[in-house]
Structure formats: structure tokens, C-alpha cells
């Protein structure tokens, strides 16, 4: 009985869900989507932390309208605890800013590595960790994408964006299957949901045919002026314009996430993330 109760408790106990938002081409809407998805998840009662893994850019803080005083690099250097670098926002989400110290994650010495691991372990009670990455396929971006359990690859209808999204998926496919996150295509800035679905289907087909990779379709966010208006007004669009098309889709995506009863296959919360973050470096240096 005790064993059964224990296993049931484990089954029901919540683990941190780690999601990355990435793209091949820049400027396709990653940060806008990540910020608003985080806010929506928080508004539904989840604890949410957003990690700004886009080196050198301060987009997240601008969109949240906050000025973080500290960054993850200070955890790595040993100057601060993880709890001290969390910046609260007016929307319930906490952010970890400017991870410039992470650029050298692959070459980190043992003390830095241990401090980073300890820091991430402290986040284990959080429901969602959302990682906003920079565009492209630099090692730093790929590191963070591989650390996640799920990655949303954001793509717009521009041919270069589609090509670069495929390029990103291809780079991911070159890693051991056990550490590739679930890949979800998220179409942004297109004129209709049906065109979005068609575009995603082409990428799914290419990934299946040429990379033997199963990629899912996460949804479409249509071109919507409210997204830009929100940025100009410094209020995230899903808060300022909760009924606009983009907000409705963000809400839909958040519901899809929260209604999934089972953590996706690669998922083992923060512990799994730490393993992936460092294990794949060994794989890379071996290969």
C-alpha cells in the first residue's frame, strides 16, 4: 500500500516543464511569443520562470518593462544565489536575465559547472522554465535547445525563415536521439491558420523524409498589429489586448500545454535538463 501511495504521489508530483523557443532566422517573433506564453501560463496559476538565453539582447526585459539588476553569470561566478538573480515582473513571471556568462558553458571549469547545476536545482519547484534563445544555430543556442524537453521552432512564411527553420531542425537531428527535444513547429505572422498549417506540414514532411524526425505542429499565430502595439505601449499584447487573434492563439497553446497530463518523453524536469546540458557536450567532444 505504501509503495502504491508513493508511486502515485510521484506520478502526480509536478516536475518542471522545460520549453525552449528558437528559430533559424532572427526577428520572427520568438521573444514576443515566449513572453506572452509565459504570462498566460502564470495567469493560470502556474509558477513560471523565463530564462533570457539570447546573448547581449535585452528584449525580454523591455517586453516585461523591468530592469534586472543581476544575471545568471553571477550565479556561475559564485557571486550570487539563483534566488537573488530572479527578477519579478508585474505579470507573475520571474525572469533570469542576460546570461552572457553562459557563452563559455561548454568550457566551464568544475566549480562554475557545479554552481550552475546547484543554481538550476533550486528551480526544481517551478512549474515551467521557458528559455528564449537567440536566432540561429550557434553552439550556445543549440546547447539551450538541447537542455529543453520541448522546443518551439518559430517560422514565418518568408522563404529564408522556412529554410533556416529546416536548417535548425537539421542541426538538432545530428545529435543523439535521446537528447533531442520534442520539436514543435509554430508558424507566426501568416495571413491565416490554414496557410500556417500547410507551411508546417511541408516542414514536417521534409523532417520526416530527409531527417527521419517526427516533428509536430504547435499552431499558427496570424499577423496581428496588436503584437506591435503592445511592444510600443510596453504592455505585453496578451495583457493589453486579451481578445486579439494573437492572444487567443497564445491562450490556446497554454491550454494545450497545461492539459497534457503526461510529461513529454525526454522529460525529467530540472535534473534531466542538467544531464542534457552537460552530457551532450561529452557527445560533441567525442564526435
Ligand X SMILES: Nc1ncnc2c1ncn2[C@@H]1O[C@H](COP(=O)(O)OP(=O)(O)OP(=O)(O)O)[C@@H](O)[C@H]1O
DSSP code of residue 181 = P
Residue 34: strand, helix, or coil = helix
Residue nearest to Mg ion (CB): 31
Closest CB to ligand X among residues 105, 187: 187
Which position among 43, 47, 59, 271 is part of the footprint of Mg ion (CB under 5 A)? 59
Please choose which of Mg ion, ligand X, none residue 28 contacts, taking the beta carbon within 5 to 8 angstroms, the exact cut-off set by kind. Answer: ligand X
Cα of first residue to Cα of last residue in the chain, in angstroms, is: 47
**88 half-sphere exposure, CB direction, 13 A CA radius:** 2
Mark out the alpha helices in 122-185 (DSSP H runs): 139-147, 159-173
Q: Does 254 bind ligand X (CB under 6 A)?
A: no
Residue 220: strand, helix, or coil = strand
Q: Does 198 bind Mg ion (CB under 5 A)?
A: no
CA torsion, ordered 140, 50, 70, 23, to nearest 10 deg: 30
Which position among 17, 30, 226, 251 is part of the footprint of Mg ion (CB under 5 A)? 30
The Cα 58–Cα 39 span in angstroms is 18
Q: Does 234 bind ligand X (CB under 6 A)?
A: no
Q: Does 135 bind ligand X (CB under 6 A)?
A: yes
Q: Does 165 bind ligand X (CB under 6 A)?
A: no
Instruction: Judge whether 151 and 21 are in contact, CB under 8 Å.
Output: yes
Q: Does 59 bind ligand X (CB under 6 A)?
A: yes
Q: Does 145 bind ligand X (CB under 6 A)?
A: no
DSSP bridge partners of 184: 152, 216
Candidate segments 12-20, 38-46, 116-124, 222-230, binder of ligand X by CB under 6 A: 222-230
CB of 283 to ligand X, least distance (A): 27
Which position among 17, 19, 20, 30 is part of the footprint of ligand X (CB under 6 A)? 30
Task: Tell me the Cα Rg of the chain.
Answer: 18
Closest CB to Mg ion among residues 22, 277: 22
The phi-psi region of residue 142 (left if phi > 0; otherwise alpha if psi is between -120 and 50; otherwise beta) is alpha
Give the footprint of ligand X on this chain (CB under 6 A): 23, 26-32, 54, 57, 59, 135, 188-189, 221, 223-224, 227-228, 231, 246
Give the footprint of Mg ion on this chain (CB under 5 A): 30-31, 59
Amino acid at each position: 500500500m505504501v509503495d502504491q501511495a508513493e508511486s502515485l504521489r510521484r506520478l502526480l508530483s509536478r516536475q518542471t516543464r522545460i520549453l525552449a523557443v528558437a528559430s533559424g532566422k532572427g526577428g520572427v517573433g520568438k521573444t514576443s511569443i515566449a513572453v506572452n506564453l509565459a504570462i498566460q501560463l502564470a495567469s493560470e496559476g502556474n509558477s513560471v520562470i523565463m530564462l533570457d538565453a539570447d546573448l547581449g539582447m535585452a528584449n525580454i526585459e523591455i517586453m516585461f518593462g523591468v530592469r534586472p539588476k543581476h544575471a545568471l553569470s553571477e550565479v556561475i561566478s559564485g557571486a550570487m544565489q539563483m534566488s537573488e538573480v530572479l527578477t519579478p515582473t508585474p505579470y507573475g513571471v520571474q525572469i533570469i536575465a542576460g546570461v552572457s556568462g553562459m557563452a563559455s558553458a561548454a568550457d566551464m571549469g568544475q566549480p562554475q559547472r557545479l554552481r550552475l547545476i546547484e543554481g538550476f536545482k533550486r528551480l526544481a519547484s517551478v512549474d515551467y522554465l521557458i528559455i528564449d534563445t537567440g536566432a540561429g544555430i550557434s553552439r550556445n543556442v543549440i546547447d539551450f535547445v538541447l537542455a529543453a524537453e520541448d522546443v518551439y521552432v518559430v517560422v514565418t512564411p518568408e522563404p529564408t525563415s522556412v529554410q533556416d527553420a529546416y536548417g535548425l531542425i537539421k542541426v538538432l537531428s545530428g545529435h543523439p536521439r535521446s537528447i533531442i527535444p520534442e520539436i514543435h513547429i509554430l508558424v507566426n505572422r501568416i495571413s491565416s491558420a490554414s496557410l500556417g498549417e500547410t507551411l508546417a506540414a511541408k516542414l514536417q514532411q521534409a523532417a520526416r523524409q530527409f531527417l527521419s524526425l517526427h516533428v509536430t505542429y504547435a499552431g499558427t499565430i496570424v499577423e496581428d498589429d496588436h503584437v506591435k502595439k503592445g511592444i510600443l505601449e510596453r504592455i505585453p499584447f496578451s495583457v493589453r489586448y486579451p481578445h486579439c487573434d494573437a492572444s487567443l492563439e497564445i491562450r490556446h497553446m497554454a491550454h494545450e500545454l497545461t492539459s497534457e497530463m503526461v510529461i513529454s518523453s525526454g522529460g525529467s524536469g530540472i535534473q534531466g535538463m542538467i544531464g542534457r546540458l552537460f552530457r551532450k557536450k561529452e557527445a560533441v567532444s567525442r564526435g
